[in-house]
Amino acid sequence: DAVMTQSPLSLPATLGQSASISCRSSQSLVYNDGKTYLSWFQQRPGQSPRRLIYKVSNRDSGVPDRFSGSGSGTDFTLKISRVEAEDVGVYYCAQGTHWPLTFGQGTRLEIK
């Protein structure tokens, strides 16, 4: 299995400041077609997960441009610039290059 390791697991963030979450895979996530199937999801308290980013850096419709994804190969980052109160929740990375599909452990973002 491709093991996805996120850090930090807990992220105290300051309103208006930026915050970053790292996601590392135990295997390269570059597929045979040259694309990288790495997604990011946000799960607000009491809600279902919501996709923010797909294929490393493609932001979903309706997702604020404060959210950005980057990385390649085995190392990926989700950056939230100008953190807002509505960003509180747990963030997961997930890979779809290798079976079985796997998620990171999650990073809990809270406001300081």
Partner 1 sequence: QVQLQESGPGLVKPSETLSLTCTVSGGSISVYYWSWIRQPPGKGLEWIGYIYYTGSTHYNPSLESRVTMSVDTSKNQLSLNLTSVTAADTAVYYCARGTWFGEFDYWGQGTLFTVSS
Nearer to partner 1, 13 or 56 (CB): 56
Q: In the bound complex, what is the minimum distance in angstroms from residue 84's beta carbon to partner 1? A: 22
Counting contacts by CB under 8 A, is residue 42 touching partner 1?
no
Counting contacts by CB under 8 A, is residue 99 touching partner 1?
yes
Please name which of 61, 37, 39, 57 lies closest in space to residue 49, comparing C-alpha atoms. Answer: 39
**Piece of the chain touching partner 1 by CB under 8 A; list 14-22, 37-45, 71-79, 81-89:** 37-45
Omega cis (within 30) before 45: no
CA distance 16 to 25: 30
For partner 1, the binding residue among 44, 55, 79, 82 (CB under 8 A) is: 55
**Piece of the chain touching partner 1 by CB under 8 A; list 17-25, 70-78, 79-87, 88-96:** 88-96
Interior/surface letters 65-104, b for 16+ CB within 10 angstroms, e for the rest: eebbbebeebebbbebeebeeebebbbbbbbbbbeeebeb
Nearer to partner 1, 11 or 94 (CB): 94
